[in-house]
Amino acid sequence: MATLKDVAKETGLTVSTVSRVLNNRGYISADARERVYEAMKRLNYQPNELARSLSKQTTNTIGVIVPHIDHPYFARLLSSLETAAYKSGYKLLLFNSGERDEKEDRYLEMCKGSRVAGIILCSGRVETQCFEGLGVPLVTVERFLESGTAAVECDNRQGGRLAAKHLLERGCRKVVYLGGENEENMPADDRALGFMEVCLREGLEFLDPGREKDAGLYASLDYHSYIEKILEAHPEIDGIFASSDVIAAQVIQICGKKGIRIPEQVKVVGFDDCGLASMTTPSITTIRQPVDEMAQLAVEMLIRANRNELVPSRTTLPVTLIRRETT
């Protein structure tokens, strides 16, 4: 069985350098890191993860908690997180909470037991007190916690402004915002605030859909009945801003069933720019989140914090409008 010394001899590097690569400590050049990984593969060298975790108190594993693994946005985010983690010599331990509090509490305990290097939280339901005494960095994506190490968000408010301005430019006069329901205050709530801000300033008639939906809609990701009620109650609507591409796609389905032509009668703007946005017919005009950049930043901040380096508590990245067929 190959040893650490065998890997060092194969690469021409010192044992300490190889050890730093495996433990992701200190500066390591890309060339040295690649040489070590190639030598490990040739020699079939397998690091003793248990021994390393006992000596370091942590592993090169990042715990990630998401509410919906099957949601296109979170699927894209997970892919980006995995890519960013792999490039830095880390791997992911994934937890799909399904928005159930008891699962998320248990997952946090499993993260502690697995000696993760840190946790990236992408869910809005975990209670703040759950993170007390966590002992590892906590980075949130699209959620802000006072007790967290760092938060990475997109500019949700600006996204709402861009959506309203675009619908106005496309001739809309009676618009509505269709959002997901969440029990916690989330950065995504600012999408509605930015949207209403422009509507009020520019004289756009903003229709309030009320609070007819419940939190169960977000859990099921099925908004069909909710959308249908809004369109039946307000047939005068000519512009819709959906807080996600998933909701926008369901708007397209309902409008097709009701014979409402998009974009001739109703124009639609979504949010996220996940793969779904370009696959519907018509394709969805949407606000693009810089998901790859957000994931890269989240991983970088977690690793830096794990090394006791200072990181900004809250970082907001810009969004852009991507125009497609729904407008």
Q: Average the pLDDT over 171-200 and give the result.
A: 88
Would the pTM count as exceeding 0.85? no
Is a pLDDT exceeding 60 seen at residue 165?
yes
Q: What percent of the chain has a predicted confidence (pLDDT) above 90?
A: 51
> Which region among 10-24, 168-182, 226-240, 313-327 has the lowest average model confidence (pLDDT)?
10-24
> Which region among 126-130, 132-136, 142-146, 314-318 has the lowest average model confidence (pLDDT)?
126-130
Hey, CA dihedral for 158, 164, 166, 168, is it positive or negative?
A: negative
Band (112; pLDDT cuts 50, 70, 90) = low
Is a pLDDT exceeding 70 seen at residue 135?
yes
Q: Average the pLDDT over 96-119 and give the result.
A: 71
The pair of three-digit structure tokens given for residue 93, joined into one six-digit string: 């331990």
* H or E stretch at 131: none
> Which region among 2-11, 13-22, 105-114, 309-318 has the lowest average model confidence (pLDDT)?
105-114
Band (256; pLDDT cuts 50, 70, 90) = very high
Domains identified in the chain and CATH numbers: 4-47 (1.10.260.40), 58-154+291-318 (3.40.50.2300), 156-290 (3.40.50.2300)
How much is the pLDDT for 221? 81
How much is the pLDDT for 3? 82
Q: Average the pLDDT over 3-32 and give the result.
A: 81
The pair of three-digit structure tokens given for residue 191, joined into one six-digit string: 């999408």
- Name residue 271's beta-bridge partners: 287
How much is the pLDDT for 209? 73
Which of residues 126 and 79 earns the better pLDDT score?
A: 79
Band (37; pLDDT cuts 50, 70, 90) = confident
Hey, CA dihedral for 280, 284, 289, 292, is it positive or negative?
A: positive
- Within 13 Å and on the Cβ side, how many CA atoms surround 49? 10
CA separation (Å) from 84 to 96, 151, 167, 238, 303? Answer: 19, 17, 35, 41, 11
Is a pLDDT exceeding 70 seen at residue 100?
no
Which of residues 211 and 130 earns the better pLDDT score?
A: 130
Band (31; pLDDT cuts 50, 70, 90) = confident
- Within 13 Å and on the Cβ side, how many CA atoms surround 309? 10
Is a pLDDT exceeding 60 seen at residue 55?
no
Band (48; pLDDT cuts 50, 70, 90) = low
Band (54; pLDDT cuts 50, 70, 90) = very low
Q: According to the per-residue pLDDT averaged within each range, which of 63-72, 94-103, 104-113, 117-126 is highest?
A: 63-72
> Which region among 38-47, 54-63, 207-216 has the lowest average model confidence (pLDDT)?
207-216
- Alpha helices in the chain, H assignment, sequence order: 4-11, 15-23, 30-43, 49-56, 72-87, 101-113, 156-169, 190-202, 215-220, 224-233, 245-258, 291-306
278 CB-contact burial (10 Å; exposed 0-12 / middle 13-18 / buried 19+)? middle
Q: Average the pLDDT over 85-106 and give the result.
A: 78
Q: What percent of the chain has a predicted confidence (pLDDT) above 70?
A: 82
Q: Average the pLDDT over 144-163 and give the result.
A: 92
Q: Average the pLDDT over 55-60 and give the result.
A: 64
Q: Average the pLDDT over 33-47 and give the result.
A: 82
Chain centre to alpha carbon of residue 45? 34
Q: According to the per-residue pLDDT averaged within each range, which of 90-99, 135-144, 281-290 is highest?
A: 281-290
